[in-house]
Amino acid sequence: MKTPEPIVEIAATGRYLPSNVVTNDDLASVVDTTDEWIQSRTGIRERRIGPDDLLAAEMGRQAAAQAMERAGVEAGEVDIIVVSTATPDRWLPSTACDIQALLGCDNALAFDLQAACSGWLYGVTMAEGFLAAGRGEVALVVATEKMSNILDWTDRSTCVLFGDGSGAAVLRPSDGQRGILSAHHRSDGHLAELLHRPAGGVRQPLDDTALQSHDHLLKMSGREIFKNAVRSMAEASDKALQQAGLTGDDIDLMIPHQANIRIIEATAKYAGIPMEKVYVNVDRYGNMSSASIPVALDEAIEEGRVRPGMNILSATFGAGLTWGAMVWRT
């Protein structure tokens, strides 16, 4: 299959991470766990946890402002803002509208997207379609996650996995050489209860019973999530590579969702990509949900791991269940 000509490119990226580092030993002092237990099962050594008054919108603003500065984009030039978050500061209005106001992007359409860990790749595809249809020239895709606020800090099976952070990218029409080559996304709502927050919506309103049972916090069936994550990310990677007319041998760098080192290793192996070509920062940040890929991408660019002319593959998986993969040329 011939490699398609890209229509939209990722022009610049940015990230924001809280300064507070929480190590596995720190967690061992408040929950029944150990550094060895966490590292052996997840590869995580530490994560960033923001203070209580740090809002998702402010984290998103910081990452977005950095990406805009690097792209040479003024606030008034942004045509659309897509924000992925599983941790909105409030239910109404959207976090995207709050970020729009903070940035002063008064000409932009702004809305939230909820696809959990898959949200940033979903958002990039939505923004790509908007620009490809000629509805604008500049898109801003932000993922901002304050995961620490939805964790049950008495549940060692979940609270050790996640961290806070935000990543963003500016998208523009491509020159036909660099940009998005393919994307494949899927979801399966039949598996929703493998990773969910039972209470807090219309289905189960937040009340004293829900608060006491911690049903407003994240619940996860770890074993089933692992199995579905590996299978789904591998399938999505296959589809995206086929659509791009490439194989694993053509990929110069894989930047996967940073949930668990075992999931990353299994997905890379299935795609035929050696680990030396895989960017990993889960050890330093844990799972930042949809912010994981844009933060990793921004770090990889800063470290010189991403250079012009490279083929990049990203794959992700999250609550919904949702999953997907994307291939682009830098």
Buried b (16+ CB within 10 A) or exposed e, 20-39: eebebeebbeeeebebeebe
Specify whether 214 is catalytic: no
Specify whether 117 is catalytic: yes
Q: Counting every residue, how long is the chain? A: 330
Measured from the Cβ of residue 189, the count of other Cβ atoms closer than 10 Å reads 9
Q: Which residues contact 245 (CB under 8 A, 6 or more apart)?
A: 1, 2, 3, 4, 181
Residues 301, 107: Cα–Cα separation, whole Å: 29
Active-site hit among 184, 185, 216, 257: 257
Active-site hit among 117, 184, 185, 228: 117
Residues 302, 283: Cα–Cα separation, whole Å: 18
Which residues are 311's β-sheet partners?
Answer: 329
For residue 55, how far is the Cα from the chain centroid?
Answer: 17
279 φ, ψ (degrees, to nearest 5): -85, 125
Active-site hit among 24, 228, 260, 287: 287
Residue located via tokens 């619940």: 219
CA angle 213, 198, 146 (to 5 degrees): 90
Residues 69, 170: Cα–Cα separation, whole Å: 10
Specify whether 185 is catalytic: no
Nearest to 79 by CA among 15, 25, 135, 120: 135
Residues classed as catalytic: 117, 257, 287
